[in-house]
């Protein structure tokens, strides 16, 4: 667990040492169980076989205590070795973590370089495309300059035509003014003629009325004459 990879005795630095460390822990556990067994209270005297003297019991107890002390000494030595190994493994783990972080940085740098290479390829492709578009634009500009020159020539020609048309328009305007003047004169004469015609019509109506009156007078006189003749 100190290495951060439980159950993987062969992964990372110190994999074999981790297995040895596990075995040492197992030995310590066994020693602890032995010590617990040795430290159990002495069996009550009543349960001892009859005839066993107190001195024999003390002798056995001393032997067991010596055995326990020996086991404790061994366990202490193993604990010291284990502690030193733990410190070594922690240092190795720190180095390994640094190496792993360095590997991650290298991998990230490789990905960045790959991304930069891809971006550079895209940039070259874009530059090639823009160069082609620039050439096409230059050709189009040349074509437009030719068309502009032709359009300017046509404009000059059209300006000449417009000048001629302007002169013709001015002449036509003068003729139009003259025609309007003649039309005005004709309209005036026509109005006078219409007025005279209306006057003639009025005179004719008056003469017609006078004629009818005279006819009536004649018919009346004729009737009177016929009466007198009768």
Query: Which residue positions in the chain have pLDDT lower than 50?
Result: 1-14, 41-48, 50-51
Of 71, 45, 49, which Cα lies nearest the Cα of 58?
A: 45
Hey, what are 193's tokens?
């003629």
% helix, strand, coil for the chain, step of 5: 90, 0, 10
What pLDDT shows up at residue 13? 44
- 50-99 pLDDT, tens digit per residue, is 445 777 777 887 887 788 778 778 877 877 887 888 788 877 878 887 88
What pLDDT shows up at residue 63? 82
Contact 71, 14 (CB under 8 A): no
Would you kindly state where each structural domain of the chain is located, as residue ranges? 15-40+54-120
What pLDDT shows up at residue 12? 45
Q: Which long-range contacts (CB under 8 A, 24 or more apart) does 32-37 make?
A: 32/75, 34/71, 35/68, 35/71, 35/72, 35/75
């Amino acid at each position: 667990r100190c290495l951060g990879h439980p159950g993987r005795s062969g992964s990372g630095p110190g994999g074999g040492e981790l297995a040895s460390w596990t075995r040492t822990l197992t030995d310590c556990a066994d020693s602890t169980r032995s010590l617990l067994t040795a430290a159990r209270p002495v069996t009550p005297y009543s349960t001892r076989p009859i005839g066993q003297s107190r001195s024999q019991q003390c002798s056995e107890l001393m032997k067991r205590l010596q055995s326990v002390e020996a086991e404790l000494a061994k366990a202490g030595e193993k604990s010291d070795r284990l502690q030193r190994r733990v410190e070594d493994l922690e240092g190795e783990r720190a180095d390994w973590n640094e190496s792993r972080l360095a590997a991650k940085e290298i991998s990230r740098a490789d990905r960045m370089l790959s991304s930069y290479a891809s971006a550079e390829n895209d940039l070259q492709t874009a530059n090639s495309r823009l160069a082609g578009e620039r050439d096409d634009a230059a050709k189009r500009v040349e074509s437009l300059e030719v068309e502009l020159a032709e359009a300017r020539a046509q404009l000059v020609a059209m300006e000449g035509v417009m000048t001629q048309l302007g002169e013709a328009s001015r002449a036509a305007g003068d003729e139009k003014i003259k025609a309007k003047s003649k039309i005005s004169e004709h309209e005036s004469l026509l109005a006078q003629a219409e007025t005279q015609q209306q006057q003639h019509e009025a005179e004719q109506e008056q003469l017609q009325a006078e004629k009818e009156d005279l006819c009536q007078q004649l018919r009346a006189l004729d009737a009177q004459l016929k009466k007198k003749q009768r």
